[in-house]
């Protein structure tokens, strides 16, 4: 049975879910947040050490302004209301991605990370304004600046995930089979599970099914 240390998730399908319910895309995001809470709880139960969630990509800025503002206000509300709960549950929050948000949001992110920095049970890596290609460009610039040799160890050291083991598995909901510029380096040997359900419909049972399937997968890392 494979141990599970790190699960990465592309939470896709909120917008379609909202429209399917004859409501708005933002309604879907609101419901998607409830799934986030369920999956965090279930990750704790499963003793998973790292959970990386793709909440906003560098490409998501192309969306209508009102949707972008809604997503960030949802995030702000979530952190304000839940950071103490996360802290009590020994959960560490880490943001990955470029932080060029409003002064207020940057401050909330900073405070949330600081508050939970010593926590050990589960680390949530929230990918915000994250894009894997720009992360890699930044890493290579770092290597050049520090005059480090180009090798795998040094590239990893310069990524935002430098202290985080690579994901064992990636789950993408929403019936779309692509990586969307998410953790391209880190997912090199991860098992990938594309799920048909839209993110707001994805539940604990679905999550546990994927984890069970993963545990039984033969991982050979290029060996036979
Ligand atoms: C993708 O669905 C989802 C996002 C771009 C945002 C993810 C946000 C949440 C799950 C809620 C907020 C989370 C936090 C942590 C505050 P989509 O909108 O691309 O769906 P679509 O493919 O149906 O358009």
User: Mean pLDDT of successive 10-residue segments in the chain (224 residues)?
Assistant: 95 98 98 98 98 97 97 97 98 96 96 98 98 98 97 97 98 98 98 98 98 92 83
Q: Which of 151, 101, 159 is nearest to 125 (CA)?
A: 159
Find the radius of gyration of the CA atoms of the chain. 17
Distance from the alpha carbon of residue 55 to the mean position of ligand 1, in angstroms: 6
Domain ranges of the chain: 6-131+167-216
Contact yes or no for 123/92 (Cβ under 8 A): yes
Cβ–Cβ < 8 Å for 172, 194:
yes
Q: Ligand 1: which atom is nearest the Cα of residue 17?
A: 23
Q: Are 125 and 53 in contact (CB under 8 A)?
A: yes
Helix (H) or strand (E) holding 199: none
Read off the pTM. Answer: 0.97
Spot the catalytic one: 5, 60, 89, 181: 60
Name which of 169, 159, 153, 165 is nearest 216 in CA terms: 169
pLDDT given for residue 57 in this prediction: 96
What are the phi and psi torsion angles at 64 (to 5°)? -60, 145
> Which of 9, 10, 15, 39 should be mutated for ligand 1, with most atoms under 8 A from CB?
15
Counting beta carbons within 10 angstroms of the beta carbon of residue 141, is it exposed (0 to 12), middle (13 to 18) or buried (19 or more)?
exposed
Whole-number Å distance between alpha carbons of 73 and 41: 22
Please give the pLDDT value at position 220: 84
Q: So what's the pLDDT on residue 209?
A: 98
Q: Where are the alpha helices (DSSP H) in 89-187?
A: 103-116, 132-145, 152-157
CA atoms within 13 A on the CB side of 91: 26
pLDDT on residue 218: 85
Contacts of 98 (CB under 8 A, 6+ apart): 58, 129, 130, 134
6-131+167-216: CATH topology is Undecaprenyl pyrophosphate synthetase (3.40.1180)
pLDDT at 224: 79
**3 state SS of 90:** coil
Q: How many residues does the chain have?
A: 224
Q: Are 44 and 122 in contact (CB under 8 A)?
A: yes
Strand partners, 84: none
């Amino acid at each position: 049975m494979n141990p599970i240390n790190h699960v990465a998730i592309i939470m896709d399908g909120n917008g379609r879910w909202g429209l399917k319910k004859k409501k708005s895309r933002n309604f879907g995001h609101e419901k998607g947040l409830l799934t986030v809470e369920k999956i965090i709880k279930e990750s704790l139960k499963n003793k998973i050490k790292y959970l990386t969630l793709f909440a906003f990509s560098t490409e998501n800025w192309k969306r209508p302004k009102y949707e972008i503002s809604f997503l960030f206000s949802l995030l702000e509300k979530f952190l304000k209301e839940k950071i103490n709960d996360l802290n009590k549950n020994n959960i560490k929050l880490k943001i990955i991605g470029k932080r060029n948000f409003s002064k207020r949001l940057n401050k909330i992110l900073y405070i949330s990370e600081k508050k939970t920095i010593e926590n050990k049970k589960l680390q949530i890596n929230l990918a915000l304004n994250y894009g894997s290609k720009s992360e890699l460009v930044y890493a290579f610039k770092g290597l050049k600046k520090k005059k480090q040799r180009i090798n795998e160890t040094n590239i990893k050291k310069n990524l935002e995930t430098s202290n985080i083991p690579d994901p064992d598995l990636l789950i993408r909901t929403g019936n779309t089979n692509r990586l969307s510029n998410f953790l391209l380096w880190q997912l090199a040997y991860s098992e990938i599970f594309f799920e048909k359900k839209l993110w707001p419909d994805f539940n604990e049972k679905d999550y546990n099914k994927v984890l069970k399937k993963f545990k039984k997968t033969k991982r050979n890392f290029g060996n036979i």
